[in-house]
Amino acid sequence: MPTGLSLTLAALAAFAIAGAMAARRFRAAMDAAREAVARGSRVARLPGGPVEYADAGAGPALLSIHGAGGGFDQGLAIAGQLVGGGVRVVAPSRFGYLRTPVPQVHDADAQADAHAALLDHLGIARATVLGLSAGARSAVALALRHPHRVSALILAVPALHAPESPVAVDPTGGSRLAFAVVKAGGDAVWWALNRLAPRLVVRFVGVPPDLLAAADAEERARIAATIAAIAPLSARADGIRIDSAHMPEDLPLARVAAPTLVITARDDHFNTLPAASRAAAGIGGARLLVFETGGHLLVGRTAQARAATRGFLAEHGVLDAEG
């Protein structure tokens, strides 16, 4: 019969083996994440500092501005989901994300000027501008500061100013924990949360977990890929801290001249509906599309959103509605 000492040693050995296996899986996941963002982008040396960007496809230019936790990779992905083919996608990494450093002045106006400088660098006179979540702030600032550069404006689940009901992280304890990990840039803890508490992570990214559980396999795979693409978190943490420190300001929305489409979902756990409604009401002629369900990542709604986006751009002569 095994003794108490032998049982303790066996338990310690099992824990050590499990820990070593987890460490190997974590290192493999981080290696894959770093490899994924090490290709497919370039760095433009601009007057205000270097900016990483991807440039893909052909057709009318689309500047795709990612949200919090993103980078050029998220910009490419959201352009494909919400606009589709037939466009030239320019997807920058905003300040503090991946290979774009943080300049001394890094507010939304400075970021908008960097977007305009990138368009200059690429010889693009005008572009459709897609701003996702926190990326909507510099998208609107670009339309205000450089109106001649913006042919149309698309604001998806926008993290803009809404004083009566602000955009915010879901107030549950789990989401606060996840937000603390994200702001700290903790790769290991974020990886562990994804494995051990997936519903918490899904809720943290603004999606009702039960909605995702009821979605089809393709949508579940898309959301899983979106969450996985937040890694390496440490390479995005500076940008996340900027996004969380710079609260949305009250902008002179009535001065936005570009045709504008605003998209959100009523059950977005980041509460973007009030901000989206306020933006659409403030921008002359803006169109507001509200889905009853979909969460912050528009679960089950991307095909409808893409059809609406392409119809909007076709109406304003930017591209064909087909595709």
Tell me if 5 is assigned to some domain: no
Tell me if 69 is assigned to some domain: yes
Burial of residue 36, with CB atoms counted within 10 A of its CB: 0-12 exposed, 13-18 middle, 19 or more buried: middle
pLDDT one-digit tens code per residue, 219-258: 999 999 999 999 999 999 999 999 988 778 899 999 999 9
Tell me if 253 is assigned to some domain: yes
Contact 237, 204 (CB under 8 A): no
Q: In DSSP terms, which residues pair with 155 in a beta bridge?
A: 131, 262
**pLDDT score for 259:** 98
Contact 278, 252 (CB under 8 A): no
Question: Residue 71: pLDDT above 80?
Answer: yes
Q: In DSSP terms, which residues pair with 262 in a beta bridge?
A: 155, 288
Sheet strands side by side (includes 61-65): 42-46, 49-56, 88-92, 61-65, 127-132, 150-156, 260-265, 287-291
Contact 215, 299 (CB under 8 A): yes
Secondary structure class of 101 (helix, strand, coil): coil
Question: Residue 312: pLDDT above 80?
Answer: yes
Helices (DSSP H) in 38-172: which residue ranges?
72-82, 108-121, 135-145
- For residue 216, the enclosing domain spans 33-323
The one-character DSSP state at 267 is T
Tell me if 295 is assigned to some domain: yes
Tell whether the torsion through CA atoms of 87, 294, 139 and 55 is positive or negative: negative
Tell me if 266 is assigned to some domain: yes
Structure tokens at 64: 């795709």
Mention every residue, 6+ apart, whose C-beta is less than 8 A from residue 80: 89
Structure tokens at 2: 């095994």
**pLDDT score for 46:** 97
C-alpha atoms less than 13 angstroms from C-alpha of 203 in its C-beta half-sphere = 16
- Predicted structure pTM score: 0.91
Confidence of residue 8 (pLDDT cuts 50, 70, 90): low
Question: Residue 153: pLDDT above 70?
Answer: yes
Confidence of residue 6 (pLDDT cuts 50, 70, 90): low
Tell me if 222 is assigned to some domain: yes
Q: Cα separation of 91 and 65, whole Å? A: 6
Q: Which of 43-57, 76-90, 155-169, 177-191 shows the lowest per-residue confidence on average (mean pLDDT)?
A: 177-191
Average pLDDT of every residue of the chain: 91
Region of residue 267 (left: phi > 0; alpha: psi -120 to 50; beta: else): alpha
Tell me if 24 is assigned to some domain: no
Mean pLDDT of all residues in 106-135: 98
CATH number at residue 209: 3.40.50.1820
What is the number of structural domains in the chain? 1
Q: Cα separation of 268 and 205, whole Å? A: 9
Tell me if 17 is assigned to some domain: no
Q: Cα separation of 137 and 117, whole Å? A: 17
DSSP 270-305: T--HHHHHHHHHHSTT-EEEEESS-TTTTTTTHHHH
